[in-house]
A = this chain, B = another copy of it.
Amino acid sequence: MDENIVPDVVISRLPWYLQTLKQIADEGMQTVSSSLLAEKLGSTATQIRRDLSNFGGFGKQGRGYTIDNLIEELENILNMDRIWPMIIVGAGDLGRALARYQGFQNQGLKVAMLFDNAPDVVGTLVGKLRVKHVDSMREEVKSNRIKIAIITVPANSAQEIADLLVEAGIQAILNYAPVTLVVQSSVRVQHIDPTLHLQRMLYYLDEY
């Protein structure tokens, strides 16, 4: 698979398609048309067909998509045919909530380790994980060949943590710190910041 062929924006929509297909499958359906899928997604049939055509299409003209088949294909494209271990750095409220989060199950993702540097936090149990000290993080990432990290540390230490993680071999970072991380272009970063998401909507609100 050559990542230069398919635009990032198409790849970014695939997990969303996959999630919705799984919901439709749970409702007991076996096939779905691109127009029904579009309706569920708030997207258009044309866009869905165009996106999927990057990978060969999958649909039969006039018959829609076989849901199980499309789910399997999307999971293969997204490298979800295995379970990727992840680390969480920062065992505060959010880090602990993510460590206990049930939503990663059956999604190709698993929280393998949780790190912090606070003496009263290191060594405590969060769900089934014992919080490790960040001093051991580099070695753990390297020896376990972990590729994915979730950063939930404060803004002023996030860049330092990111640099250390990338040096240790991390290739994908989900950043919850309210700061834009600067990393080499081979490393993927996704930024989740509730403040930014909320402010994007303020513009559209009616005045009091």
Which residues of A are in contact with B by a Cβ distance under 8 Å?
A: 1, 3, 11-12, 14-16, 18-20, 23, 40-42, 77-80, 84, 86, 93-94, 96-98, 100-101, 103-104, 107-109, 145, 147-148, 150, 171-172, 174, 178-180, 182, 188, 190, 192-206, 208
Contacts and interface: CB of A to CB of B under 8 A. Distances in A.
Contact of A206 (B14, B147, B199): B147
Residue among A77, A180, A182 having the largest count of chain B Cβ atoms under 10 Å: A180
A199 B15 contact: yes
Contacts of A79: 202-203, 205
A178 B84 CA distance: 19
Contacts of A182: 40, 42
How often does this chain occur in the complex, in copies? 2
Contacts of A42: 180, 182
A199 B108 contact: yes
Contacts of A23: 179
Nearest to A202: B79
A103 B195 contact: yes
Given A172-B202, A205-B172, A206-B147, A178 B11 contact: no
A145 B199 contact: no
Given A11-B200, A208-B145, A195 B96 contact: no
Contacts of A199: 14-15, 18, 78, 80, 107-109
Contacts of A206: 147, 171
B3 A77 contact: no
A12 B100 CA distance: 30
Nearest first, the 9 A-B pairs at minimum CB distance are: A15-B199, A93-B97, A172-B201, A190-B197, A188-B201, A79-B202, A15-B196, A12-B200, A97-B97
